[in-house]
Amino acid sequence: MLGTRLPGPGAIYISQTLNFRAPVRIGDTVRVEVTVAELIPEKHRARLRCICSVDGETVLEGEAWVKVPSRAG
């Protein structure tokens, strides 16, 4: 998902950190929330905050770095 759909076409997935907080079981519905935490325009980079939850409980959190294409490119 990251790098292909978020933040959009042409993005390159650089890295991601993950912290697992609770188990996810078969049949659970996982809610995924990704927000832009920081933009570094001069380096064409974005830091994305990622949170996954089940029934309101955070089961995973972390952040990802992506390189985003310039608008001119």
What is the chain's mean pLDDT, rounded? 89
- Mean pLDDT for 19-39 is 96
* pTM, 2 dp: 0.80
Residue 21 has pLDDT above 80, yes or no: yes
Domain regions of the chain by residue span? 16-67
- Mean pLDDT for 27-48 is 94
- Mean pLDDT for 12-36 is 95
Is 16-67 a CATH 3.10.129.10 domain? yes
The Cα 14–Cα 12 span in angstroms is 6
Predicted local distance difference test score (pLDDT) of residue 12: 86
Q: Are 73 and 9 in contact (CB under 8 A)?
A: no
Predicted local distance difference test score (pLDDT) of residue 11: 83
Helix, strand, coil % in the chain, rounded to nearest 5: 5, 60, 40
Secondary structure tally for the chain: helices H, strands E: 0, 4
